[in-house]
Structure 1
Amino acid sequence: MKKELRRQIIQARLDLSPEAAAEKSETIIQKLISLPAYQEAGTIMTYVAFNQEVETKGLIKYSLSQRKRVLVPVTVKKDRELIPSEVFHFPGDLQPGTWGILEPKPECFRPVSPSEIDMVVVPGVAFDKNGNRLGYGGGFYDRFLGKLPKTSRFVAIAFELQIKDNVYHQEHDQPVHWVITEEQVIKAK
């Protein structure tokens, strides 16, 4: 069931026109930066969009302009882990990494302790209104989010088409505090 739901949602996301995806992404990012939790956060980790996910370029650039510390994940495939790395120059610090997703160049790798992260902007395939997420199946974010301080806040950004009644979550899955789409802000926990 999870595999089929992943396939359906990813295809629906890819079926959005680039213009529609860009417009929806901009609306979602505006809602995110209006959140008091975002405004209060000094250190933010965000994914770098790939494969028609909600676009994060604007968020990264805006956050840097607001003098926030911006971190992006470096994927260590063999250990199935994410390492947060600080970005000073976007997109100049980055190059295609694991799965073709932009990651810091080796000379720009600046690891940061997870204990310093105030907010994580989390990717995913599907979400429910309780903040449960269906990821891509590797468990990278579930393991990573489980290591963060209780004070860290997790925000999923997604297109409305990614909101489902059931995402078949399991006990080890880490829920998010908010899910933000172009149509709504869901306070989940």
Structure 2
Amino acid sequence: MSNEVEHAKRALRAELRERRALLSDAQRDAAASSIGERLDELVESLGAQSISCYLSATAEPGTREFVTRAVRRGIRVLLPVTRADGLLDWAVANDDDDVAEGLFGLPEPTGEVLGPIAVNDVDLMIVPAAAVDRSGMRMGWGRGYFDKTIGSMEKCPPVYAVIYDSEILDSLPREVHDQPVDGIVTPTQTLSLSQTRR
């Protein structure tokens, strides 16, 4: 059973990667701008003073301008730093463009690194995803970092995944460790999903 689910996920991830690769720079820029506005509104509506986000890679829906704006508005933004043991450390974002290459070639912050529990104090988590289904089940890219983080938090804040509109699916293959999200932010909408996880 588990092998079937893994195979289905692998095939779906490959398809989603391919779709993202086909987007033009202009489409990516427009999506990043719209997503940034929606994230600004989400942060404001929740009154979040401290958030976690991530530095988007080229093919991902863009979050970098949003992060810079949030920092300049005085919001504390924690950015993930991958560790070899499967956990995430966190670094406080600043408004410069210093970025290092992380373990998997993904962009990571260069500031002072805090331990995994630093994220316990945020009011909102903004996470990457490959896709999310209508029940809120999130599928990442297969390394499990965010599932581990969300699953281990004693008091998890609202978690919103950032994806493109075409990545909202009716259902997703699911494994025991997969963690749902509370909402989705796309270039055209912010969807709040009812969750019973907490």
The alignment-based identity, stated in percent, is: 26
Give the corresponding residue for 1:29: 36
Q: Which residue of the partner structure matches residue 90 of structure 2?
A: 84
- Within-5 A mapping of 1:8-47: 8-35=15-42, 39-47=46-54
Please report the RMSD computed on the Cα atoms of aligned residues, expressed in angstroms: 1.7
TM-score when scaled to structure 2?
0.86
Residue pairs, 1:55-134, within 5 angstroms: 55-77=62-84, 79-92=85-98, 94-105=99-110, 108-111=111-114, 113-134=118-139
2:131–2:138 Cα contact (<8 Å) kept: yes
Shift in CA distance, 38/136, structure 1 to aligned 2, threshold 3 Å: farther
For residues 99-152 of structure 1, what are the alpha-carbon distances to aligned partners after superposition, in whole Å with 9 as ceiling and x for unaligned? 2222233xx223162221111111011111222111111111000112334351
| Secondary structure of the corresponding residue to residue 114 of structure 2 | coil
Q: Secondary structure at the match of 1:6?
A: helix
TM-score by length of 1: 0.90
For residues 58-106 of structure 1, the C-alpha deviation after alignment (integer angstroms, 9 at most, x for no partner) is 11111011101111101002x11111211224323x312222222233x
Q: How many residues align?
A: 185
- Could you list the runs of 5+ residues in structure 2 that have no partner in the other structure? 1-7
The 1-side partners of 2:125 and 2:154 are apart by 11
Residue in 1 aligned with 2:5?
A: none
**How many Å separate the matches in 1 of 2:58 and 2:191?**
24
Select between 60-69 and 94-103 the one with higher mean Cα deviation: 94-103
The answer to whether the aligner puts 1:53 opposite 2:56 as a matched pair is no
Structure 1: gaps of 5 or more residues: none
Deviant stretches of 4+, over 4 Å: 36-39
Letter in 2 for 1:109: E
- Partners of 1:33 and 1:39 within 8 A in 2: no
CA distance in 2 between counterparts of 1:130 and 1:150 reads 21
Q: Secondary structure at the match of 2:148?
A: helix
Which residue identity does 1:90 align to in structure 2?
D
